[in-house]
A and B are shown apart, each in its own frame.
Chain A
Amino acid sequence: MHDTVMVPKKFSTFSLRTANSRITALSALIILLLVFTAIAAPVIAPHDPVAVDLANKLKAPSLNYPFGTDHLGRCIFSRVIYGTRESLKVSLIVVSISASIGILLGLVSGYFGGLTDELIMRAVDIMLAFPSIILALAIITALGPGLNNVILALTLVHWTSYARLVRGEVLRIKEKEFVESARAMGNSQLRIMFRYILPNVMAPVMVVSTLDVAHVILSASGLSFLGLGAQPPTPEWGAMVNDGREFIRTAPHLTIFPGLAIMITSLAFNWLGDWLRDALDPRLREGRIE
């Protein structure tokens, strides 16, 4: 009867965490590799990613073209490598901007409460009332397709989750004695918000933003797949999958390789986020016996 009640959480996850460490190491390695690929793309890529060579179109993977060529004879390997740049660029920009906006609004909303809180949270509610991808679709339709508009649309959709998360955490932290003590010491509001509260809400934000990177990569690829994101000839994974759609029976390598790239990247960020969640949760830290 007491099994679930009594075994302290910090112990029950103890052995689990060591088993997870291999996956974590793998995902960290993948992400490092992705970043390196994005930076060194011109050096690694054997061909120009946009160079059309109709004589060599739809070639199966070979030594010269490791992932084969597409319907315009472009090297898919080189395009996947350059695509890393696009995906990472979009996701990092979207996540960092939406996190900053969300954190700031959440902090203000949770700390001051009252009317400010009502206004900000009702705005969040309105944003959340739309299915996010449909909202993004609507925005892009209004502004026209293109990667920059994808970034704008996804940012407008994504900040809400940060605002909510941060607000909730702020409400919790605000009641802690150390915040009260900071007030009693005579710290200014701004100082309390940024020096006492903000550092203590960052852990869950880190987790969510890591998971969010995966989410944004998928959304951006999805939008590009629909022709709303990256425009040809930009090498973007989602757009490449779309290009290969017609040839999926005859030349599946056109879709498989960019598809794999999307999958591996988002998996790696998801794993890393899961690990961060465990690692940053102070309740899961091993150590003391009560």
Chain B
Amino acid sequence: MVLVQTAMENSEQKAKTAETLLEIRNLKTYFKINGSIVKAVDNVSLKIINGEILGLIGETGCGKSVLGLSILRLLPENAKIEGNLLFRGKEILSLSKAEMRKLRGKEIVLIPQNPSTSLNPLMQIGCQVLEAVIRHHNLKKSEAVSKVLDLFSKLKLQEPPRKFRDFPHQLSGGMKQRVLMAMGVACNPKLIIVDEPTKGLDAVLRIEVVRMLKETASAAGTSMLLITHDFSVAAALAHRIAVMYAGEIVEMGKTAAVLRNPRHPYTAGLLNSLPGKGFNPIPGSSPSIISLPEGCRFHPRCSRANMKCTASHPELVKLNDDHFVRCFNVCF
């Protein structure tokens, strides 16, 4: 609870000195699978300002991870990206492969979803972080080693020299997550994309990871795109929240506003299905992005749906200065 309040205070401070770090305009990521086109990310626009944490919330298959990978252009060959991805004013989509490699890991870092399979099992973890540090800093080996140890202690990995020599299987899930984080922040990136940092972790580890992410972000003033399915994680960390459904953003706004006063029926439904709120499920299941319903993509599951919702597709509309909703019958 304390975490939530500080997150909100921060957001107000930072909004004043805002400078756009990443701007996504009409991003479409399509996959060609067996001759048909799958719209994994469909017309998404959003902004992340300096020092801001944006929580991207959605359920399995809504396209949130694909959105994260699209930013780094880490997609397979059968994917097609359209739209604009402006990072500090530069168009990411027109960068050459070499420029793209420089951008990844140095300015934009991805902390992948599965910490246990993202580390080389046959390499001491210190050396894995060391590689990242040496690659981006041009340091001598001894200097780099002390920087790694420094990072480890900053991320509260106990006994850094011993941890340096440990292999991934000797670490718990939370610690692996920290090591990946250390690799990520080793080169002071501007933006960290964190993909499902708490998936599969138990409550105790989850709060530990949340604290660590919070400390990292506030210490370095790094911006984050936090991809998660967990509202409480987003609530604790994010300044703003974007809710994704079937490839689209359906609601976006300040964290407190979205959580306390959800305007889209899907957001409201998700919140109501939390166990703390009586776990009232949303009827039906998420549509397959291969065959999307006509009109509003949520209408088959929506209690407020009417004729208009089945016939036409709603646009993302601005409700007030920072709250956007894609719905004809906004909740109040």
Task: Determine whether A and B are in direct contact in the complex, meaning some CB atoms lie less than 8 angstroms apart.
Answer: yes
Looking across the interface, which residue of chain B has its beta carbon closest to that of A8?
B76
A interface secondary structure, majority: loop
Q: How large is the interface on B (under 10, 10 to 19, 20 to 34, 35 or more residues)?
A: 20 to 34
* A186 sits at the interface (CB 8 A): no
Q: Which residues of B contact A5 (CB under 8 A)?
A: 112, 118
Contact check, A11 vs B76: say whether CB atoms are below 8 A apart: yes
Q: Which 4 pairs show the lowest CB-CB distances between chains A and B? A: A11-B76, A1-B105, A6-B74, A5-B118
* A188 sits at the interface (CB 8 A): no
Choose one: B34, B74, B77; the contact of A286 (CB below 8 Å). B34
Excluding A7-B75, A11-B78, A14-B78, 11 further A-B contacts by CB distance (< 8 Å) are A1-B183, A2-B72, A3-B74, A5-B118, A6-B74, A6-B112, A14-B77, A287-B33, A288-B61, A289-B31, A289-B289
Contact check, A15 vs B104: say whether CB atoms are below 8 A apart: no
Q: How large is the interface on A (under 10, 10 to 19, 20 to 34, 35 or more residues)?
A: 10 to 19
**Cα(A289)–Cα(B75), bound, Å:** 11
Contact digits for A7-36, partner B, Cβ 8 Å, 1 yes 0 no: 110011011000000000000000000000
* B141 sits at the interface (CB 8 A): no
A21 to chain B, nearest CB (A): 14
* A175 sits at the interface (CB 8 A): no
Given A1-B104, A289-B40, the answer on whether A7 and B76 have CB atoms closer than 8 Å is yes
**Cα(A15)–Cα(B31), bound, Å:** 13
**Cα(A288)–Cα(B33), bound, Å:** 9
* B60 sits at the interface (CB 8 A): yes
**Cα(A6)–Cα(B68), bound, Å:** 11
* B53 sits at the interface (CB 8 A): no
Q: Which one of A12, A289, A290 has the highest number of Cβ atoms from chain B below 10 Å of its Cβ? A: A289
Contact check, B61 vs A289: say whether CB atoms are below 8 A apart: yes
Q: Which residues of B contact A289 (CB under 8 A)?
A: 31, 38, 40, 61, 63, 66, 289
Which residues in B have some Cβ–Cβ distance to A below 8 Å? 31, 33-34, 38, 40, 60-61, 63, 65-66, 69, 72, 74-78, 104-105, 110, 112, 118, 132, 135, 183, 289
Choose one: B60, B72, B76; the contact of A14 (CB below 8 Å). B76
B73 to chain A, nearest CB (A): 10
**Cα(A118)–Cα(B60), bound, Å:** 44
B164 to chain A, nearest CB (A): 19
Contact check, A2 vs B112: say whether CB atoms are below 8 A apart: yes
**Cα(A287)–Cα(B76), bound, Å:** 13
Q: Which residues of A contact B77 (CB under 8 A)?
A: 11, 14-15
A16 to chain B, nearest CB (A): 10
B114 to chain A, nearest CB (A): 9
Given A1-B132, A5-B118, A11-B76, the answer on whether A286 and B104 have CB atoms closer than 8 Å is no
A1 to chain B, nearest CB (A): 4
Contact check, A6 vs B38: say whether CB atoms are below 8 A apart: no
Which residues in A have some Cβ–Cβ distance to B below 8 Å? 1-3, 5-8, 11-12, 14-15, 286-290
Looking across the interface, which residue of chain B has its beta carbon closest to that of A13?
B76
Q: Which residues of A contact B104 (CB under 8 A)?
A: 1-2
Contact check, A290 vs B38: say whether CB atoms are below 8 A apart: no
**Cα(A288)–Cα(B69), bound, Å:** 16
**Cα(A12)–Cα(B79), bound, Å:** 11
- Can you list 6 A-B pairs, Cβ within 8 angstroms, ordered by A? A1-B183, A2-B104, A14-B78, A15-B77, A15-B78, A290-B60
Given A11-B78, A15-B78, A286-B34, the answer on whether A6 and B69 have CB atoms closer than 8 Å is yes
Q: Which residues of B contact A7 (CB under 8 A)?
A: 74-76
B70 to chain A, nearest CB (A): 12
A289 to chain B, nearest CB (A): 5
Looking across the interface, which residue of chain B has its beta carbon closest to that of A286?
B33
**Cα(A219)–Cα(B168), bound, Å:** 43
Contact check, A1 vs B135: say whether CB atoms are below 8 A apart: yes
**Cα(A8)–Cα(B34), bound, Å:** 17
Q: Which residues of B contact A3 (CB under 8 A)?
A: 74
Looking across the interface, which residue of chain A has its beta carbon closest to that of B78?
A14
Q: Which residues of B contact A287 (CB under 8 A)?
A: 33
Contact check, A2 vs B74: say whether CB atoms are below 8 A apart: yes
Q: Which residues of B contact A6 (CB under 8 A)?
A: 69, 72, 74, 110, 112
Contact check, B76 vs A2: say whether CB atoms are below 8 A apart: no
B69 to chain A, nearest CB (A): 7
Q: Which residues of B contact A8 (CB under 8 A)?
A: 76
Q: Which residues of B contact A290 (CB under 8 A)?
A: 60-61, 65
Q: Which residues of B contact A15 (CB under 8 A)?
A: 77-78
**Cα(A77)–Cα(B255), bound, Å:** 81
**Cα(A6)–Cα(B118), bound, Å:** 8
Q: Which one of B33, B34, B38 has the highest number of Cβ atoms from chain A below 10 Å of its Cβ? A: B33
**Cα(A287)–Cα(B38), bound, Å:** 10
**Cα(A157)–Cα(B69), bound, Å:** 49
B92 to chain A, nearest CB (A): 15
**Cα(A12)–Cα(B66), bound, Å:** 15
